[in-house]
Structure 1
């Protein structure tokens, strides 16, 4: 289903482009620039969400721009709702990405716009797109760890994921872990218990 409007949700809606042309936006998680041919990078940013120990805050991960514009504010921590930068958590021998030095790096992101496509969706468990769809990018499904109090949405992180400059120190705030299939109600086969899932973002 395509939602109309502009930035209703950063990663899944259609937007009206210049001169009445249609278009679509999506977030490319793990990259500073959009990689699909003919796609415009609206802005580069950093992934941010709730703290992994939080019982509140937002559950949907955001791609925050690197040049915020402030409105009315009061400096200091008032104890309201919080948002934290996200890190890749890739320990215990799990290193599915091409870059093997991602652990504890801050997660990058880019908001992308295609003027020639009308819709997009994220396809979990496949790194290819259906016939008739073009692939914006592919990678691995990531989310918060299963036993953490905080939560974020399941996101498709580019297989060539990169971190931010100077973002390697371990802060353990909002965290991205590879998603593993678990057998039970999930049929095995075709799924394999404990195997990391791929994903793709598809355009049409």
Structure 2
């Protein structure tokens, strides 16, 4: 079992609505204790928006199936004495000279949604927020699978979900 890393904050994963044309691409880790500046309550249409995130997992494994529509937590953690942190898609382990921080499944937005998305490495034992398991949409995280063609098969396999590893190096 890995030693827990010191986390700066834990909160709620979020981002733009999955189908908005002008959606921001990056997911956010929103704090549980937000602070406010000058504000006006209510929506007036001339803004960008942020929504919570939920898992859109449709996979035969019981763990992934049980996460469908659950809201996603997040954490920002420190990695001491490391100068480079990199996510390696298609790997569960790190290359020689790198230290594994965690591994999991590669996730991104649905391929046919209007909004852009980014690839994220979600821990192989993902958490969900307590009580957040109804379908409210927002920023959606889907498992990423390989598609053969310009992506060479082998070594990749058509339709197989990709793993990922987050590694650090001094």
Query: Is the pair's TM-score, using the shorter chain for normalization, greater than 0.5?
Result: yes
Change (3 A) 1:177 1:43: same
Contact map agreement 1:99 1:160 (CA 8 A) in 2: no
Write the distance in 1 (CA, Å) between the matches of 2:152 and 2:66.
Answer: 33
Gaps of 5+ in 1: 1-34
Matching residue of 2:13: 47
Matching residue of 1:187: 152
Alignment of 1:1-204 (within 5 A): 37=3, 39-79=5-45, 80-91=47-58, 94-96=59-61, 98=63, 100-204=65-169
Change (3 A) 1:74 1:120: same
Write the distance in 1 (CA, Å) between the matches of 2:61 and 2:108.
Answer: 14
Contact map agreement 2:57 2:64 (CA 8 A) in 1: no
Write the distance in 2 (CA, Å) between the matches of 1:58 and 1:119.
Answer: 25
Task: Calculate the aligned-residue CA RMSD, in Å.
Answer: 1.6
Post-superposition offset of 1:88? 0.3
Q: How many residues align?
A: 168
The CA deviation string for residues 139-184 of structure 1, in whole angstroms up to 9 with x for no partner, is 0000011111112210000010010011101112211100010001
Contact map agreement 2:54 2:139 (CA 8 A) in 1: yes
- Per mean C-alpha deviation after superposition, the further-off stretch among 192-201 and 54-63 is 54-63
Post-superposition offset of 1:132? 1.3
Contact map agreement 1:50 1:151 (CA 8 A) in 2: no
Gaps of 5+ in 2: none
Change (3 A) 1:39 1:157: same
User: TM (normalized to structure 2)?
Assistant: 0.93
Post-superposition offset of 1:53? 1.1
Change (3 A) 1:181 1:155: same
Change (3 A) 1:42 1:95: farther
Question: Hey, which bits of structure 1, 4+ residues long, moved more than 6 A?
Answer: none
Change (3 A) 1:105 1:60: same
Write the distance in 1 (CA, Å) between the matches of 2:61 and 2:97.
Answer: 28
Change (3 A) 1:99 1:179: closer
